[in-house]
Amino acid sequence: MKKKLLTILLILSFSCLQAQNPTSKLDYRPPVDIPIYLSGTFGELRGDHFHSGMDIRTQGREGLPVYAIADGYVSRAAVSSGGFGKALYLDHPQSGHTSVYGHLLRFAPEIAKWVKQQQYEKQSFSVNLLPDKNLFRVRKGDVIAYSGNSGSSGGPHLHFEIRDAATQEILNPLAYGFKMKDFIRPSISKMAIYPESETSEVNGKNKPTFFELQGWGEQHRLKDPAVIRASGTISFGISTNDPHNDTPNKNGVYSIELFVDGDQIFGFRTDRFAFDETRYINSMIDYGYYVKNKSRIIRSTIDPFNRLKMYFNVKQNGSVTVKTGDTLKVEYVVKDIHGNTSKLPFTIVGAATKNIEKQSPMDSTLTMATAGKPIAINGSGFSASFPADAFYKNVELKKEAAPSTNYLSDVITIGNEQIPVHKNYKLNIKLTDKIKNTQALTVVYVDKDKTTSLGGAYSNGWISVNTRKLGRFAVMADSVAPTLIPLNFKQNADVLSLSELKVSIKDDFSGIKNILPTLNGEWLLMDYDPKNNLLTYEVDERLKKGMNTLRIVVTDECNNKTTLEVKVSR
């Protein structure tokens, strides 16, 4: 009887463990039939966002079959010129997950046929479609699409995600059994220490101090073994990446922990996040260092208006107070999701505090922006209105207007490029010159001698734009229309042997706003690939026997228009 009772208890215990670990019940197959090598990991640090999935290398090729990882149905199909390009979303009711497949070359035939019908009904290349759950049922292992390089992809690969279907939060796909070769420890390349007050010092200076590292794995150490001396409240930061076997990419790590005398004061882990959290990356990293050096350092302190949920076990806001005579043993522990671990130990010795009072001279060009409160900045010929959640912490913003003969306005300075902005603010700039064609006006971001168009709306001598950028701005006019050039055909050509008609599409400045292609007076579906400046028509039954008229009208963001009309025969 006792033996039978023990067996029942063991079964119940195992069942309980299974219930607590839902991933153990899942049996997802890989989305591709080639070995998985990654060019990007979940939570990896990217420009203004965390990477929301894993990027699977496709051997530099397009057109590899992409498979459903489990039974389910197509819940969404999207096509756009940027982002994921051609993307497919499958819901899996058994697990409560959504799987996402991005940068596709094309969908499986039945799905592709339906998507094309919807594009013609809506007369739009870009679509976001939500089919009925009974329209495209799939079984595990069904071919649902083919890998490609569409959207903002930088090369052929498959972007793959797993989401919580109920919340649409993105989950780390490597937690769900996808196998890959990874026996290499993460690499730690740089360490930083930040004074957190005007009286704090690191090696005698009241400014961020950066340390080069050497070694690998658990042998990371300071390149300069000299003792670090500090006083007052300080915080930390590191730059780290995760190499994998048999691939050159330096991907993102899974977790970072920071210990002082054995007590954890900071933790960061990439298990899941919501899309509305992703821009908090600009608060998590040393943003100013990134702008100057194009390298990201993850800080241990958390700004007051940083709502990121990937932190854990943070104490004293990731900082420590060093007193004279202290000897602190500090250690970073960095892991990838496969458990490979790297460590960086170092020692901080408390130095005598100099108590040097630091005073900043009054600067009339600076305005204090208090995080959590809206702020309006007004100047000569400009104004800016920031919402309450624009900044992660209190910042001082420079405001200035400088006359210029190169632009249609003064050059306006609002803050600087090293300050991150979370939400759009409205910038208004007054014109100093009159211009007849006000539709051609655009606000530009001025970076040394380079200008980038931001767009804008004109009204009564002013132009307004919503932006997240800080720095220098001015107004210019774009009067140059886009260019359209047929690539593989010409006027009056016989295109019977062609499967595609390709047209080069370029705009020199403000960017493409609208494309209207027609064939014999009817709207025509053309695939738009902006990174390659390419429009493509896959020849179908709409190209009739005899003479046909292809007409493409393109408008840029400043409303300059170009029309290409070509007659072709078949």
Range of the domain at 193: 187-350
What is the structure's pLDDT at 67? 98
Indicate whether 408 and 430 sit together in one domain: yes
In this predicted model, what pLDDT tens digit does every residue of 113-130 receive, in sequence order? Answer: 999 999 999 999 999 999
pLDDT-based confidence at residue 424 (cuts at 50, 70, 90): very high
pLDDT-based confidence at residue 357 (cuts at 50, 70, 90): low
Is 408 a residue whose pLDDT tops 70?
Answer: yes
Indicate whether 392 and 461 sit together in one domain: yes
In this predicted model, what pLDDT tens digit does every residue of 148-185 receive, in sequence order? Answer: 999 999 999 999 999 999 999 999 999 999 999 999 99
Indicate whether 149 and 204 sit together in one domain: no
Is 195 a residue whose pLDDT tops 60?
Answer: yes
What is the structure's pLDDT at 8? 39
% of the chain with per-residue pLDDT over 70 = 94
Question: Is residue 172 a part of any domain in this protein?
Answer: yes
Indicate whether 213 and 280 sit together in one domain: yes
Question: Is residue 338 a part of any domain in this protein?
Answer: yes
CB atoms under 10 Å from CB of 276, counted, come to 9
What is the structure's pLDDT at 18? 37
Instruction: Give the pair of three-digit tokens for residue 49.
Output: 């966002």
pLDDT-based confidence at residue 266 (cuts at 50, 70, 90): very high
> Mean pLDDT, to the nearest integer, of 395-421?
96
Indicate whether 552 and 424 sit together in one domain: no
In this predicted model, what pLDDT tens digit does every residue of 213-263 receive, in sequence order? Answer: 998 778 899 998 888 999 999 999 999 999 999 999 999 999 999 999 999
What is the structure's pLDDT at 22? 45
Question: Is residue 263 a part of any domain in this protein?
Answer: yes
Indicate whether 310 and 442 sit together in one domain: no
Q: Specify the number of domains making up the chain.
A: 4
Task: Answer yes or no: are the C-beta atoms of 75 and 131 closer than 8 Å.
Answer: yes
What is the structure's pLDDT at 227? 87
What is the structure's pLDDT at 198? 92
> Mean pLDDT, to the nearest integer, of 10-19?
37
Question: Is residue 359 a part of any domain in this protein?
Answer: no
The contacts of residue 521 (CB under 8 Å, 6+ apart) are 549
Indicate whether 161 and 227 sit together in one domain: no
The residue among 445, 477, 509 that closes a domain is 477
Q: Average pLDDT, whole number, for the chain?
A: 93
> Mean pLDDT, to the nearest integer, of 73-93?
98
Q: How many helices (H) and strands (E) does the chain have?
A: 4, 46
What is the structure's pLDDT at 225? 80
Residue 492: C-alpha distances to residues 474, 531, 540, 570 (Å): 45, 29, 19, 10
Distance CA 501, CA 172 (A): 41
pLDDT-based confidence at residue 355 (cuts at 50, 70, 90): low
Question: Is residue 7 a part of any domain in this protein?
Answer: no
Quick one: DSSP state of residue 112? Answer: H
Indicate whether 460 and 399 sit together in one domain: yes
Instruction: Give the pair of three-digit tokens for residue 259.
Output: 């210990």
Indicate whether 290 and 252 sit together in one domain: yes
